[in-house]
């Protein structure tokens, strides 16, 4: 009996529509053919999943979160995916059995309202409606009815921060293989046999910093997901909180449950949706918050624990911020506590400044330089920042930043980069001769602290700063999301409809979903 033939394709980019940045095709760092299979250890020959199917890489692209994807970039990458899928089927001289759709779910493309569903619609025109599609997604993605309709299986992360990313992608592939092997034993699956799905949208749109699974009520909500997934007749269950910094009709929370028993699938979806809605007014920020000034006051108090971390959240590049808003660094440098060269070290990560980095590289470590950085992309919160200081460290060859340079101004060590880069790990600092464990204060452009930084921090605060991923959602000016929507609307004329919208076993993914 031949192994099932499965292709891998998808594009992922969490994109803020409130950032002036734009995302181009190279930002996706496309991987093709065998590069894709090498990307995932669980698809390697010799692994249980790798040996269970004939895997074919088409194209995947995972961009650092940023601004809206320009249409030309989407069309270029989408066309290449279709071309490569066509070539795969021609080379194997047989139709595909399955597709792993490796996406995020919050990609916004110029002129499109539902980019992932549009991409899968085009893929279906090439691979056909019989091919089973399993999508793995970020829980900060969006699931429209159209996307749920075109996929046979959907699953999403169950933790935020995302400590289960690899596990989720493996689950998507395992579920797909199990479904392909659920035929009549004759070697080919009956294309008419596919699971039913229950889809429930919820009128809730909250940022990740208020829906972290580290704290309640998200902790209990997501703890319920595997229990629902383990119900007899259910294949999988997932909850999406949605992506708050985009303005499309699909932007909202959602629940999807898939399985063979319609009653169990509907009941599981409704159980999750009801738990979510019952807690909608209880979601709070994952940690203590305040203005940047208030957070710095606490950090420099005599009794403050060390190291004290502060999230400069409004320009977080891992949520879609441009990453080059200099406002936070300017406020930090203006504080008297940071102006003493012999004071306790204060670390800041980071600010793009290609010209500044070139100047520092030419001057060398130990030189005193005057450089200007920031506000090349997002200048809505002040112009570029000019600083004079000592070059503390230089590093070349980083895959994101390309070149990193540390400028010491007083006791502040500011990391400047050629290109924007997220700073999530201790080695991101120690590679630059910076020691976060012995610093007084570490300010990072981030939302909730990623696991390694969270473990390092003796204490922390989330600063509510300006930028393309401002945590004050109502002031951003959403105009196209469905209303009423919590927290934009504090009262609802009637309770939301939390009944499962069923997509039955016999539903053809090439036709539109029934409304």
Residues 198 and 322 in one domain: no
d(CA 367, CA 388): 11
Collapsed DSSP state (helix, strand, coil) of residue 502: strand
What does residue 312 show for φ and ψ, rounded to 5 degrees?
-85, 85
Place of tokens 């930043």: 401
Tally the domains of the chain.
Answer: 2
d(CA 73, CA 75): 5
Q: What is the pLDDT of residues 55-88, one digit of tens each?
A: 999 999 999 999 999 999 999 999 999 999 999 9
503's tokens:
């997509």
Place of tokens 């393309």: 468
In the predicted model, what is the mean pLDDT of residues 353-359? 98
513 inside domain: no
- Is the model's pLDDT at 445 over the cut of 90? yes
483 inside domain: no
Neighbours of 355 (CB within 10 A): 14
In the predicted model, what is the mean pLDDT of residues 419-437? 97
381 inside domain: yes
178 inside domain: yes
Cα dihedral: 272, 275, 281, 286 (round 10): -70
Q: What is the pLDDT of residues 287-311, one digit of tens each?
A: 999 999 999 999 999 889 999 999 9
Number of helical (H) and strand (E) elements in the chain, helices listed first: 12, 22
Say what percent of the chain tops pLDDT 90.
92
Residues 394 and 431 in one domain: yes
Band (504; pLDDT cuts 50, 70, 90)? low
- Is the model's pLDDT at 186 over the cut of 80? no
Please tell me the predicted confidence (pLDDT) of residue 6. Answer: 98
Before 487, cis peptide (omega within 30)? yes
Please tell me the predicted confidence (pLDDT) of residue 193. Answer: 74
Q: Of the spans 148-162, 169-183, 337-351, which averages the highest pLDDT?
A: 148-162
Give the residue with greater pLDDT, 445 vs 505. Answer: 445
Neighbours of 483 (CB within 10 A): 11
The range of the structural domain enclosing residue 64 comes to 5-182+194-284+498-503
Contact 276, 202 (CB under 8 A): yes
The alpha carbon of 464 is separated from its chain's Cα centroid by a whole number of angstroms, namely 20
462's tokens:
């989330």
- Is the model's pLDDT at 378 over the cut of 60? yes
Band (190; pLDDT cuts 50, 70, 90)? low
334 inside domain: yes
- Is the model's pLDDT at 514 over the cut of 70? no
141 inside domain: yes
Please tell me the predicted confidence (pLDDT) of residue 429. Answer: 98
CB within 8 Å of 101: residues ≥ 6 apart: 9, 10, 120, 123, 133, 134, 135, 136, 151
Residues 203 and 73 in one domain: yes
Contact 488, 473 (CB under 8 A): yes
Q: What is the pLDDT of residues 384-405, one digit of tens each?
A: 999 999 999 999 999 999 999 9
444's tokens:
């990072």
Which of 25-29, 220-224, 340-344 is predicted with the least confidence, judged by mean pLDDT? 340-344
Residues 221 and 243 in one domain: yes
d(CA 421, CA 293): 24
Residues 362 and 384 in one domain: yes
358 inside domain: yes
- Is the model's pLDDT at 184 over the cut of 50? no
Residues 386 and 256 in one domain: no
Residues 49 and 96 in one domain: yes
Band (340; pLDDT cuts 50, 70, 90)? confident
Average pLDDT, the chain: 95
Please tell me the predicted confidence (pLDDT) of residue 189. Answer: 57
Closest listed residue to residue 336, CA positions, set 411, 443, 435, 442:
411
d(CA 459, CA 305): 6
Residues 422 and 466 in one domain: yes
Please tell me the predicted confidence (pLDDT) of residue 327. Answer: 97
> How many CA atoms lie less than 13 Å away from 301 in the CB half-sphere?
11
Angle at CA of residue 361, ends 355 and 363, nearest 5°: 105
Residues 251 and 317 in one domain: no
Contact 14, 22 (CB under 8 A): no
CB within 8 Å of 16: residues ≥ 6 apart: 65, 66, 67, 68, 245, 246, 319, 320, 321, 468, 469
- Is the model's pLDDT at 182 over the cut of 80? no
- Is the model's pLDDT at 185 over the cut of 60? no
d(CA 36, CA 57): 6
């Amino acid at each position: 009996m031949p192994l099932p033939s499965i292709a891998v394709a998808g594009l992922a980019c969490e994109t803020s529509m409130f950032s002036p940045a734009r995302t181009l095709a190279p930002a996706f760092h496309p991987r093709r053919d065998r590069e894709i299979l090498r990307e995932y250890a669980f698809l390697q020959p010799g692994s249980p999943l790798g040996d269970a199917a004939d895997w074919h890489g088409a194209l995947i692209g995972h961009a650092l979160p940023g601004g809206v994807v320009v249409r030309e970039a989407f069309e270029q990458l989408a066309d290449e995916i279709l071309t490569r899928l066509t070539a795969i089927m021609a080379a194997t001289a047989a139709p595909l059995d399955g597709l792993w759709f490796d996406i995020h779910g919050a990609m916004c493309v110029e002129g499109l309202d539902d980019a992932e569903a549009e991409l899968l619609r085009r893929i279906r025109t090439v691979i056909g409606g019989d091919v089973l599609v399993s999508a793995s997604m970020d829980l900060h993605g969006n699931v429209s009815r159209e996307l749920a309709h075109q996929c046979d299986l959907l699953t999403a992360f169950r933790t935020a921060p995302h400590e289960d990313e690899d596990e989720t992608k493996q689950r998507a592939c395992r579920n797909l293989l199990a479904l392909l092997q659920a035929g009549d034993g004759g070697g080919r699956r009956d294309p008419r046999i596919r699971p039913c799905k229950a889809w429930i949208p919820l009128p809730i749109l909250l940022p990740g910093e208020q829906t972290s699974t580290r704290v309640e009520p998200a902790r209990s909500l997501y703890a319920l997901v595997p229990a629902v997934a383990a119900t007899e007749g259910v294949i999988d269950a997932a909850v999406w909180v949605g992506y708050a910094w985009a303005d499309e009709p699909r932007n909202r929370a959602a629940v999807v449950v898939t399985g063979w028993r319609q009653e169990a699938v509907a009941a599981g979806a409704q159980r999750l949706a009801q738990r979510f809605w019952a807690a909608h007014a209880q979601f709070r920020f994952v940690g203590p918050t305040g203005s940047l000034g208030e957070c710095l006051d606490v950090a420099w108090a005599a009794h403050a624990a060390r190291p004290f971390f502060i999230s400069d959240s409004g320009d977080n590049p891992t949520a879609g911020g441009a990453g080059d808003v200099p406002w936070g660094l300017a406020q930090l440098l203006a504080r008297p506590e940071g102006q003493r060269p012999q004071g306790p070290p204060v670390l800041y990560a980071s600010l793009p400044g290609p010209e500044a980095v070139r100047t520092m590289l030419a001057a060398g470590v130990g030189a005193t330089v005057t450089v200007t950085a920031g506000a090349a992309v997002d200048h809505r919160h002040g112009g570029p920042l000019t600083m004079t200081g000592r070059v503390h460290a230089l590093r070349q060859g980083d895959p994101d930043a390309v070149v990193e340079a540390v400028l010491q101004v007083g006791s502040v060590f500011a990391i400047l980069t050629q290109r924007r880069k997220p700073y999530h790990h201790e080695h991101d600092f120690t590679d630059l001769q910076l020691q976060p464990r012995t610093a007084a204060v570490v300010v990072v452009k981030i939302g909730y602290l990623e696991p390694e930084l969270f473990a390092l921090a003796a204490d922390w605060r989330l600063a509510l700063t300006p930028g393309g991923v401002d945590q004050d959602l109502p002031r951003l000016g959403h105009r196209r999301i469905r209303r009423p929507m919590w927290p934009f609307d504090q009262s609802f004329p009637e309770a939301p409809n939390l009944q499962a919208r069923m997509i039955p076993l016999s539903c053809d993914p090439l036709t539109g979903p029934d409304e």
